[in-house]
């Protein structure tokens, strides 16, 4: 994803109330997402 696309996607998520976290590349961040991984099923929302 290019920097421009990432910025737009981050803005979209932020405006929707989510707190996006950049996990890096698929290789790096993907290891955190599978079943049993550190971030599996976690949803980060801004607290108002």
Per-residue pLDDT at 15? 93
The Cα–Cα gap between 3 and 44 comes to 22
Instruction: Give the chain's length.
Output: 48
- Collect all residues with Cβ–Cβ distance below 8 Å to 38 and sequence separation of at least 6: 32
Query: What angle is formed at CA 1 by the lines to CA 44 and CA 21, rounded to 5 degrees?
Result: 15
- DSSP code, position 1: -
Q: pLDDT tens digits, residue range 4-22?
A: 888 999 999 999 988 888 8
Ordered by start, the domain boundaries in the chain are 1-48
The confidence band for 35, taking pLDDT boundaries of 50, 70 and 90, is confident
């Amino acid at each position: 994803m290019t920097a421009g696309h990432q910025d737009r996607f981050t803005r979209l998520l932020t405006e929707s109330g989510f707190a996006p976290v950049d996990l890096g590349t698929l290789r790096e961040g993907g290891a955190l997402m599978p079943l049993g991984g550190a971030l599996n099923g976690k949803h980060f929302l801004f607290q108002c």
